[in-house]
Chains A and B, each alone.
Chain A
């Protein structure tokens, strides 16, 4: 309600309860005392509850005491912001006036905004600087008393969309104010609200969940397009433009039906904006196309595991969410509509660790895209990572075997708390003799001991020899890494190896028969489409491309037939099948979906490793039950040092 200068006057008077003379005030604000008089009059006129500012000969101007609290409240809540809005708003309004026909002059602006000529020059220069800093685009040009717009209609619209994008995504509800300024006389509040309703109806009727920000952004962009067209600022259609995705096509069709006329050029520019935001029902990542964002995320996960020993794969929800975010982020890098983050600095300050981890993404994306992610976008990733560290990450449940010396115990737990609080959770500190009982009743991932280096056959033990130092820390990190990798292997193995598709052949068996039987098992688990098609492809392929790995092990798989669901059938052959001088004891029949799957890559590494040393094949061939097979395979995976 008050202008910037008026708020400033109120602020000064609030801080000087004893009052201040007009001369002093004018000195403070660098304006004439006449202006001060006018402003005070204006303030009292706006304040409807009586004279807010009184004047006395002795004190000068002062604020009536009964209003002091409400004035303070006003200044604290919105006053400061209002001032900034006014200042930013003036630039937008000048731009809006110029945009209407592409040119205007300083006098028209003076008239419209009731500003003096120098004030107009100042506003324009300030605005130009801001646009160059924020958008690298000198859209508003000024020479002598003339103002005009630089750039073709495509560039202008893209720029307007960027303004709208920043304002809507900031979620401050300022975008209507922005639209009103930019569209100047053409803006009609009712028309705009109707536009929002129509577009909301589109999303609702298709059960698409969109954020407020995205709804207003879409509506604003379409509204701007309509008005620019109505003002005859037409855009040229590009011939070699990228294809518009079907779901956004549908939105355009809907707009057509509601008689918003958009030509191809309009659509191309709108698509550029829409493409980078989630306004469609399906998650944008097409699983079957081997999307680039999957590669980026996989690299990111691997590096996070490598350098920080966190397993981002452990939660599918987390993985899927960050994947969608990365997909849109990379699209925005392409289209140039990157999102700003108003709390970027807060995030850096409050979540430095998450931010540091997120920075790993920068070189990865650079490798694929040849450009760098902006800080603002990184900070959004950091929010995901922070959430992971706080809420998703499974901290390793750790038991410390207490030392007879109390002080050592304190040192140990402090050391863990200060170095590994993201990784380890100490669930108990107990004497050695109580461990057995504790392990029976509790799940434990890690035991820390001063005396023994191996305590349990399965649970990893970390032995600390003395006061922990730099090397102890490194060793602990290495162990955490190994435990996490083992868990990852265990999960992968449990996902693809199921006892229903494991067969143990005790007598003589034929290769073709084994493949047929395993394929039937895969079929009954709904992993493959058609048994005959699958079997023929597998057998055909063996002729030209045999799948031996080493002398005892084979991994047959089809060349062109894809599976419904990725899975691995197993045949354990107590009586080896003799093929081309090899004595096959173990067959893994692979059924693979038509999509990128990094886990299968990990398994291939394991298979190659197994094939290289006969001990693991032999121990797998020796199993008596299907469950035992899976256990042994997990054990083998955890004793191999890969990945």
Chain B
């Protein structure tokens, strides 16, 4: 599974990326995940299965979806604030299974 994480400055997500990666390792999942800033999103077309965005970018979900053409949703603020990798991973999986 390939997850793209997107936030405003591209700075907060690196910690969540690490947590999600750890969660996936524990489950023995094959996972590719990376974080980018909103401004760089157009370079990511066609590379990912699902995209999570930070709560700061909740307004941009539709436009990101229009660009990437994959499921896109904003991570629940509490999950994001606590950097809960497990829950974020669950969320990404549920998006993909839609």
- Residues of A contacting B: mostly: helix
- Closest residue of chain A to B69 (Cβ to Cβ) is A370
User: Total contacts A to B, CB within 8 angstroms?
Assistant: 78
- CB of B29, distance to nearest CB on chain A (Å): 23
Q: B67 within 8 Å of A by Cβ?
A: yes
Q: A290-B59, A544-B15, A560-B56 are in contact. Are A604 and B82 (CB under 8 A)?
A: no
- Residues of B contacting A: mostly: helix
Give A138 to B85 CA distance when docked, in angstroms.
58
Q: A560-B77, A592-B56 are in contact. Are A295 and B8 (CB under 8 A)?
A: no
Of the listed residues A545, A601, A605, the one surrounded by the most CB atoms of chain B closer than 10 A to its CB is: A545
Q: A540 within 8 Å of B by Cβ?
A: yes
Q: Indicate if the CB atoms of B63 and A290 lie closer than 8 Å.
A: yes
Q: A291 within 8 Å of B by Cβ?
A: yes
Q: Indicate if the CB atoms of B81 and A560 lie closer than 8 Å.
A: yes
- CB of A374, distance to nearest CB on chain B (Å): 20
Give A161 to B32 CA distance when docked, in angstroms.
50
Residues of chain B from 1 to 23 with CB closer than 8 A to chain A in the complex: 8-12, 15-16
Q: A179 within 8 Å of B by Cβ?
A: no
Contact with A along B59-88 (1 / 0, CB 8 A): 111111011000000000100111100000
Interface size, chain A (Cβ < 8 Å): 31
Q: A295-B67, A559-B56, A595-B59 are in contact. Are A601 and B38 (CB under 8 A)?
A: yes
Q: Indicate if the CB atoms of B9 and A555 lie closer than 8 Å.
A: yes
- CB of A553, distance to nearest CB on chain B (Å): 12
Q: B93 within 8 Å of A by Cβ?
A: no
Q: B37 within 8 Å of A by Cβ?
A: yes
Q: Indicate if the CB atoms of A295 and B63 lie closer than 8 Å.
A: yes
Question: Inside 8 A of A592's CB, which chain B residues have their CB?
Answer: 8, 56
Give A289 to B82 CA distance when docked, in angstroms.
26
Q: Indicate if the CB atoms of A545 and B59 lie closer than 8 Å.
A: no
Question: Inside 8 A of A290's CB, which chain B residues have their CB?
Answer: 59-64
Give A555 to B56 CA distance when docked, in angstroms.
15
Q: A547 within 8 Å of B by Cβ?
A: yes
Q: A368-B67, A592-B56, A594-B58 are in contact. Are A559 and B77 (CB under 8 A)?
A: yes
Residues of chain A from 576 to 617 with CB closer than 8 A to chain B in the complex: 592, 594-596, 598, 600-601, 604-605, 607
Question: Inside 8 A of B15's CB, which chain A residues have their CB?
Answer: 544-545
Instruction: Rank and list the top 8 A-B pairs by shortest CB-CB distance, nearest first.
Output: A601-B39, A545-B12, A290-B60, A290-B63, A560-B77, A560-B55, A290-B59, A544-B83
